[in-house]
Amino acid sequence: MSAVLESNEASTKDSPVPATVQVLEGDWKAYLSCIGQCRENKSLIVEQYGSIAAYQRACALAYLGRRAQLHGGVCSNRHPHIMTPQFISDLASSNRNTRYARYPWLRTLMNLLAEIEQIQDQISTTNVITLVPAAK
């Protein structure tokens, strides 16, 4: 467990710089310890962060990690990814297979809905103009 509230020596009354919360990413005990400091050092925390909510937000961000904030999440600036139609098709197929594996009843439901739509198309009058292309 490593939870440390570091104060910035460079902060002055004219330009207060909030202290940094040092919690290892995913360290729940350290996060709880930092949050527990709200009761003990309330005036110090309010002075440095402006409010208890701001301090708790800083603790939460330290717990969750700042990788996504600092590096833009899952996108890489160094290695661009181009999503080709083939890649998107493979991804859709993979997602569909995973979805049907998780929810076996979903395939039956989708087939029933497609069958209902086909029957409705067959019995509809000729005055109806479809806006969606027919399913193949």
Please give the DSSP secondary-structure letter assigned to residue 8.
P
Burial class of residue 94 in the structure, from the number of CB atoms within 10 Å of its CB (0-12 exposed, 13-18 middle, 19+ buried) = exposed
104 and 58 share one domain:
no
What tokens were used for 107?
A: 């395939």
Q: Based on the fold, state whether residues 21 and 57 are members of the same structural domain.
A: yes
Domain contains 132: no
Residues 6+ apart with CB under 8 A from 61: 69
For residue 78, being part of any structural domain is answered with no
- Note whether 54 and 102 are same-domain residues: no
- How far is it, in rounded angstroms, from Cα 104 to Cα 109? 9
In order of 10, 23, 107, the CA distances from 6 in angstroms are: 12, 11, 55
Task: Judge if 98 and 59 occupy the same domain.
Answer: no
In a domain, 58, yes or no: yes
Do 109 and 51 fall within a single domain? no
Closest to 37 (Cα-Cα) out of 25, 24, 21: 21
With respect to residue 19, please indicate whether it lies within any of the assigned structural domains: yes
Indicate whether 10 pLDDT > 70. no
The total number of structural domains in the chain stands at 2
In a domain, 128, yes or no: no
pTM listed for this prediction: 0.39
Structure confidence by residue, pLDDT tens digits, 19-64:
677 777 777 788 888 888 877 888 888 888 888 888 888 888 887 7
More confident residue, 114 or 64: 114
Q: Supply the range of the domain harboring residue 50.
A: 3-71
- In the chain, the largest separation of any two C-alpha atoms, in whole Å, equals 79
